[in-house]
Structure 1
C-alpha cells in the first residue's frame, strides 16, 4: 500500500499538483492565521469597502489582454507562444493607457453611475493595476506552459506573507479601509514582480522570450480570435456574476452586509485556491496534449472532476453544517452572520471547486462560444435570485441562499454538458 502511494505521488501530474498545492497551502496558512487579527483590526465596514473595490478590479482584470495570455499554453511550438506573449503585453499597455484617459475625463460620471463615492480617490489606481495584471497573466501562463510550477508555488507563499503581514502591521497604526484597498491594489503588481525575480536565473525568464523573432502578431491575433471574441466576454460576464452579490448587497443592505459576504467568500475560496486551481493549472497543458494526441478528453475530465468531488465534499460540507459556529469562534461574535452567509455560499464554492478542470477543457474542445452563452444565462439567473431575495422577502439571508443554491446548480449543469461535449469531441477526434 505504501509503495503504491509513493508510486502514485511520483507521477508527473500528481507531483506538479502537489508542488503547486504546497505553495498555495503555505500561503493559505499564512492568510488563515492572520485573518482573525485582520478582521478584528478593521471590522465589517472596512471589509465592505475593500470588497467593493476588489469587485471592480475583478471585473476588469480578466480581460486586460483580451484573454490572449490563456492561449500561451496551447501552441505546439514555443515560437508561437512567444508571439502571443508580445501580443498580450502590447494589448495590455493599450488598455491601461485607454483606461487612464477614461478615468481622467469621466471620473465623476463613473462615481455617480455606480455609486462609488466612498472609494473615489482609489479609482486612479486602476490603470496601474491593469498593466500589472496583464504582465502577471503572461508570466503565469508561460510558467504553466514551461511547467515551472515550483516557482509559482514559492511566489504564492511569499506574496501572501507580504500582503497579509502588511495589513496587520500597518493596521495596528492606521486601521482604516484605505489600507486594505491599497494592499489589494498592490497584489497583482507584487506577484508579477516576484515572479520576474524568481525566474531571472531560469530558462523561463520572461525577458528572453519577448524579443525573439516569432510568428507575426497580426496572424496570431487572427488565429486565436476565439479568445477576444468569446473568452474575453465570457470572462467579463463571469466576473460580473462573481461580483454582482457585492454590488447588489451594497445597494440593498449596506457595507456591513458586503463585509459579511466578502469574508465568507474569501474563506470558502481557500480549498479552490489550495487544490482546485492547482489541479486546473496542471490539468490545462495536460488536457491540451491529450487532445492533440487523439486520446480521450472526456475520460480525463471525468476522472479529475470525481477526484475533486471526493476532496471537496468534507470541508465544504463542514461549513454548511457548522458555518455560524465556526465563524463566530474564529473571527468573533460580530461575524456570526457571516457564517450564515457562508452556509449558502458553500454550495456555490463547492461547485466552483470541482468546475476547475471543466473551465480548462472548454477552450481545448473549442467550446468557448457555448461557454459565453451559458455564462450570460447564469448571470441572469443569479441576478434574479438576489432581486427576489430583496424585493419579495427583504432579507439578505434569503437573497444569499437563493444565489448560492442557484449558482451551485448552474455549475453542476455546466459540468454535465461539458462532459457530453467532450464525448462528441472525442468521436470527431478519432474520425480525424
Structure 2
C-alpha cells in the first residue's frame, strides 16, 4: 500500500491534478469565505435575478464559438491549435454582434415571452459575457494543451479574490442585482486577462502572434464535429441544467430561484474542485492513450472510482445536515436552500464521478451519439420537472424530481461510454 501511495505522489498525472486542484480549491475557499457576507448583503430575491441571468447565459454561451476551443487540445501541431483559437475568436465576435442586434431589436418580446423582467435592465450584458467566456475558453485550452497548470491555478485564485471583493465592497454601497450580474460578467474578462498575462511571460508568448500553417477554413472543416455535434449537445445540456432556474422563475417566486442558485453554488464546490481538476488533466492523457491505440476503459474506470472515493464525504454531510448548515453559515433566510441541497447532493455526486466520462467523449469520436443521448435526456429532465411540480406543487418537489432523473441519466451515460471505450 505504501509503495502504491509513493508511486501515485510521484506520477506527473497526480502532481498536475494537485496543481489544478490547489488553484480551484483556493478560488472556492475564497468564494466560500465571502459567501456568508454576500448572502446577508443581497438576499434570495437578488440572488434569483443573478441566477436567471446566469441561466440564460449558460444556454446561449455554447453558440458563442461553436465549441471549437475544446478542439485545441487534439491537433498534434501547435500551429493547428493556434488556428482553431483564432477561428474561435472570430466566431465569437460575430455571434456576440448578432446577439446584440437581436436583443436591441426584440428585447421587449423576448422579456415578455420568457418572463425575464427581473433581468431586463441587464440583458444587454449577455453578448459581452459570451465574448468574454470564449476568451477564457481559448486561454484555458491552451494552458491545458501546454500543461501550464500552475498558471491556470494562479489565475483562478486571483480572479476569485478580486471578483468576490468587488461583490462585497460594491454591495455594501448598493446591494442591487446589477452588482452581482456585472461582476459575474467581468469575472470572465478578468480571468482571460490574467491567463494571457501569464502566457506572455512564458515561452508560449508566440501563441499570440504566430500564424497557423493550415488555412482556418480547412481547420473548421477538419474539426466540424465540434460545431455539428458537440455544440448542440452542450446547448441541450445547458438548457436542461438551466431548466430548474427558468421554471422556478416562471412557476414560483424569485426567492425560490435564489435558494436553488445558492444550493447549486455550494454543491458545485466539490464538483469543481475535484472533477474539473481531474478532467483537465485526464483529457490530454486520455487523448494520448487513444492516439497510441491503447484501451481507454481502464483509465476511465480508475478515474471514476477514484473520484467516487474522494468526493463522497462532503455530499453525505450535506444530505444529513444540509438545512442546518445553510441556515447557520448563510443566515436564517437560507434554510430552504439547505432543503434543496439535500436532494441535489446525490445528483451532483454522480456528476462529479462521471466527469472523466464526459471528457473522454471527443477523443472516442462519440459526439454524434452523445448529441442523440442529450436530446433524450433533455426531454426526460423537462418531464421530471413537470412531474415534480404536479406531484407536490412546490418548488422543492420540482427539484427532487429533477435530481432523481439526473442520477439515472448520468449512470446510463457512464455505462455507455465505458462500454464504447
Same fold (TM over 0.5): yes
Counterpart for residue 146 of structure 1: 146
Counterpart for residue 385 of structure 2: 386
Counterpart for residue 332 of structure 1: 331
Counterpart for residue 136 of structure 1: 136
C-alpha displacement of 1:7: 3.8
Specify every segment of 5 or more residues in structure 1 that has no aligned partner in the other structure, as ranges.
423-432
- The reply to whether residue 290 of structure 1 matches residue 289 of structure 2 is yes
- The reply to whether residue 190 of structure 1 matches residue 187 of structure 2 is no
Specify every segment of 5 or more residues in structure 2 that has no aligned partner in the other structure, as ranges.
none
Structure 2 counterpart SS, 1:214: coil
Counterpart for residue 429 of structure 1: none
C-alpha displacement of 1:196: 1.1
Counterpart for residue 372 of structure 1: 371
Counterpart for residue 311 of structure 2: 312
Q: Is the 8 A contact 1:82 1:210 kept in 2?
A: no
Q: Is the 8 A contact 1:82 1:214 kept in 2?
A: no
Counterpart for residue 399 of structure 1: 398
What are the residue-to-residue correspondences of 1:11-410 with 2, within 5 Å? Answer: 11-205=11-205, 208-410=207-409
Q: Is the 8 A contact 2:391 2:397 kept in 1?
A: no
C-alpha displacement of 1:35: 0.4
Q: Quick one: distance in 2 between partners of 1:365 and 1:341?
A: 36
Greater shift after overlay, 137-146 or 109-118?
Answer: 109-118
C-alpha displacement of 1:132: 1.2
C-alpha displacement of 1:211: 3.6
Counterpart for residue 426 of structure 1: none
Q: Is the 8 A contact 1:45 1:255 kept in 2?
A: yes
Q: Is the 8 A contact 2:244 2:398 kept in 1?
A: no
Q: Is the 8 A contact 1:385 1:402 kept in 2?
A: yes
C-alpha displacement of 1:10: 2.1
Taking only aligned residues, the RMSD between alpha carbons, in angstroms, comes to 1.3
Q: Is the 8 A contact 2:63 2:95 kept in 1?
A: no
Structure 2 counterpart SS, 1:317: helix
Deviations 1:347-384 (A, max 9, x none): 22111111110111011110001111111111111111
C-alpha displacement of 1:62: 2.8
Counterpart for residue 417 of structure 1: 416
Deviations 1:263-317 (A, max 9, x none): 0000000011111001000001100000000111111011101100111111111
C-alpha displacement of 1:327: 0.9
Q: Is the 8 A contact 1:51 1:246 kept in 2?
A: yes
Q: Is the 8 A contact 1:323 1:343 kept in 2?
A: yes
C-alpha displacement of 1:6: 4.2
Structure 2 counterpart SS, 1:338: helix
C-alpha displacement of 1:210: 4.6
C-alpha displacement of 1:11: 0.8
Q: Quick one: distance in 2 between partners of 1:111 and 1:309?
A: 41
Deviations 1:56-94 (A, max 9, x none): 111122331100010000011112111111211111111
Deviations 1:20-68 (A, max 9, x none): 0001111111111110110011110000000000111111223311000
Counterpart for residue 425 of structure 1: none
Structure 1 counterpart SS, 2:362: helix
Q: Is the 8 A contact 1:347 1:407 kept in 2?
A: no
Q: Is the 8 A contact 1:64 1:91 kept in 2?
A: yes
Q: Quick one: distance in 2 between partners of 1:221 and 1:390?
A: 43
C-alpha displacement of 1:3: 6.6
